[in-house]
Chain A
Amino acid sequence: MTAIFVMLAASLSIAIAFLGAFIWSVRKGHYDDDYTPSVRILMDDKMPATKKKTT
């Protein structure tokens, strides 16, 4: 039966680890802006289409 207690401790610590990860990501601003990153990722550092036009 001690197996159950060990597993209990294991499962709780895993859960706490995930909770910690969640709190960490909130604190890092992960959920502050759920729109801009989706636009940002589509932008290239240099857009080939305009390179011709501007140079």
Chain B
Amino acid sequence: MEPPQEVAEKHTCYHCGEDLKSEVIFLDEHEFCCEGCSVVYDLLKENDLCDYYAIDGSQGISPGNSFFDGKYDYLDLPEVTTKILEFTDGKLSCVNWHIPKMHCSSCIWLLEQLYRFNPAIRSSVVNFPEKKLRITFDSTKIKLSELAAVITRVGYEPYISLNDLEGKRIRQWNRIKLYKIGIAGFAFGNIMMLSFPEYFHLSSSSIDQDLRKTFSYMNVALSLPVLFYCAADFFKSAWNALKGKYMNIEAPIALALICIFLTSLYQIFTETGPGYLDSFAGAIFFMLVGRFFQDKTYAGIAFDRDYKSYFPIAVSVLNNGTETRTPITDLKKGDQLLVRNQELIPADAVLLSAEALIDYSFVSGEAEPLRRKKGDTIYAGGKQTGPSIELEVLREVSQSYLTQLWNNDTFGREKEDQNNTLAARINRYFSPTVLVIASLTFLFWYFINDNPETAFRAFTTCLLVACPCGLVFSSTFTNGNLVALFGKNRCYPKNSDAIERLSKIDTVVFDKTGTITKSSEVEIAFVGDDLSPEEMVIVKTIASQSSHPLSRVIVDFLSNVKASRRGLMGYQEVPGAGISCQWGGQEVRLGSAQWVGLQKTEAAAGSSQVFVSIDRQVPGYFLVKSKYRANLPLTISKLQSKGFDTYLLSGDKPTDQDFLAPVFGNKSNLLFEQKPEEKLQFIRHLQETEKKNVLMVGDGLNDAGALRQSNVGVAVSDDINNFSPSCDLILEGNRLALLPAYIKLAKAGQNIIKASFGISVVYNVFGLSLAIGGQLSPVIAAILMPVSLVTIVAFTTFTSSRAAARLLKN
């Protein structure tokens, strides 16, 4: 059967720009894809805000259906309100909300016009890079929950997490860093100016001596805030590392800074020399600027969600039949909860309803929902699918099994050990080596040449000039730039460390379902007698009642058929069998062969049959086959030609072996009927007995364990928001063919880091040899250091961008 062909042109929703598939809602000569979009349009029109569509076209956000009355009621609880409000004077209040859906200039415009929706909203200001909206409103005229509802109704649901409730501000822009840079720069400039006369050698006349003293003391005064305020982080970090009995990059820097400062004080107060306070302030200033840009690179790429982000904030607690929204942190043992469809179960609890279907895919990776009976214990982290259920809380949230499971120890596994990154390895040896060289130089000048002044100078310049910043920043900047470049190409690494591990990969293991087959796209055909247009309407109408994946597929397949809106009588859905209902006087059934009264027939694996029965007549069935990603053979052959071992792990029966064997080249590389634990074991076997670095490509659902075990776990996702904590990289499905290029780019990145290490080493050898000879003044050392840093940053940024342009061209 072919779907009707009369579709003339593509229609898109006036609000959100989505293709119109099923029902079309007409309003003001515009077409909308759903009720939500048209409501938002109406709302905008009512408030004379239709300019929204003129800025960037149809960029609206469909509000979805997750909003229900009372969703934000918990915001009005006094203890929640005080934590969420940034500021209040009893009348004017201010909130700063994270709006994840903000994405274009239209969003900025609309969100800053909020005052037109409700006069109680005084102003709203967007911070786009942080996706924050700061709203000032009159809290006597509008409640916080109403405010949240206003924003949600236009499609921009604020994201309020448990972090907000605990009063912990998520990663606020650090102004202190700017203060420190400003003060260090101020001190550096002025000390430099006051030291100029010294550079040009003052004469020994008494006036000159007075000037020299004044200048020197002013320099000391200026350098004090630099030492105690601006450079405090270096000392703190070095001290913490020393307490932990290891040496980090800050240790030699801190030592050098103390040395210069003390030497300068000694020279100034004994009037034996001008000191090196200019270099001291300059070095700190340039290092702070370096760190600032480093942080900025990181800020854009951080996955700053922690496990608590997945918890809901408030749940419905039943109390003698009345429902109140209660913050999750206030849940007590014995509370009765109401959990709706698709809501997360916040705490370990006992089921009070007759039956529940719990989806644990996020925690265990198991895709199949688990059936639970009355009286069973339900662990936190599952999602209820189906009708609302009632639960009784067993343990409070903080003690929950889930909190432990998601604790950083479990997911921040050893493969992210910072000490094993290339930079850290080099650093471990670099800092002690520099210290040894500097000490030897000091001893040489002090005892053998008997020249204490040169000894001090050589010692400090050694420490300063050999600053390993160049080495450290080279990997930071290269990886940081690579993360950004990856992101531009729809591939999202969790952190720069993941890129470093990606570069070492030599084996690629694919999961089958959902990874190399598309979960969203299937091949579907109707087998049997053609359905009449009226029958198609019937099938679509009934199928759209069900949320079963197969029903969804059928609805999508019949996208050009209009669903009827008539009421359905006797609708019934039997899990594992099918759905039935009355259509006029006819009984219509959709489902398995048995469900429609036929003999059970075996469908080919990887495909399913959905039989249609209308008034006990079976015209035929829908054959739904999973479809392989079109770019799969190309990806595999590219990988193999580059020398990667490729494997396939599948939980299914080996029906597609004939198709897959030539693709993977070898039958022994195909493993079928693998359980999730077996997948994990297989990866471990490759890693431990064959010493392979394994990249696992999965969908993050039923292979979470294998993803975690692998050196790099890649989750292929057609929806980027589909985030699995066990993956290191999220790859958009249609970019799968670029996987070899990504690995190559990661390798190129490592080469770039090595090359910049080379530059850094050459510079260090050059600088150190001058410093050991005592021929380097600290000023030059302090200038050389940032110069080398800038060189390295320019080099890594330029070369990595070039490599990305070359490798990801196609």
Contact = CB atoms under 8 A, between A and B. Distances in A.
Most chain A C-beta atoms within 10 Å of own C-beta, residue among B45, B48, B53, B182 = B182
Interface residues of A, number: 30
Q: Using C-beta atoms within 8 Å of the partner chain, give the interface range for chain B.
A: 20 to 34
B128 A15 contact: no
Nearest to B108: A39
A45 to B, nearest CB: 9
Interface string B161-196: 000000000000101001100110010011001100
Contact of B175 (A19, A26, A43, A53): A26
A13 to B, nearest CB: 11
Contacts of B54: 47, 49-50, 53
A4 B175 CA distance: 36
Most chain B C-beta atoms within 10 Å of own C-beta, residue among A5, A19, A27 = A19
Contact of B55 (A23, A26, A33, A43): A43
Given A19-B186, A36-B126, A11 B175 contact: no
Contact of B129 (A4, A5, A34): A34
A41 to B, nearest CB: 11
Contact of A50 (B50, B175, B189): B50
A40 B112 CA distance: 9
A22 B182 contact: yes
Contacts of B179: 23, 26
Nearest to A51: B51
Nearest to A32: B173
Contacts, number: 73
Contacts of A42: 105
A15 B175 CA distance: 21
Contacts of A54: 45, 48, 50-51
Contacts of B127: 32-33, 36
A28 B127 CA distance: 14
A31 B183 CA distance: 16
Most chain B C-beta atoms within 10 Å of own C-beta, residue among A31, A34, A49, A54 = A54
Contact of B183 (A5, A19, A35, A47): A19
Contacts of A49: 54
Contacts of B186: 15-16, 18-19, 22
A4 B514 CA distance: 77
Contacts of B203: none
A10 interface: no
A35 B50 CA distance: 24
Interface string B199-212: 00000000100110
B109 interface: yes
A43 B50 contact: no
A1 B55 CA distance: 64
Contacts of B182: 19, 22-23, 26
A48 to B, nearest CB: 9
A40 B242 CA distance: 48
B631 interface: no
B489 to A, nearest CB: 22
Contact of B128 (A1, A26, A39): A39
A32 B128 CA distance: 10
B198 interface: no
A39 B183 contact: no
A42 B55 CA distance: 10
B105 A43 contact: yes
A10 B657 CA distance: 85
A33 B50 contact: no
Given A11-B193, A26-B179, A40-B126, 7 more contacts: A23-B182, A35-B129, A36-B108, A36-B127, A36-B129, A39-B108, A42-B105
Interface of B: 45, 48, 50-51, 53-55, 105, 108-109, 112, 126-130, 173, 175, 178-179, 182-183, 186, 189-190, 193-194, 207, 210-211, 214, 218
6 contacts: A1-B207, A15-B186, A15-B190, A32-B173, A43-B109, A54-B51
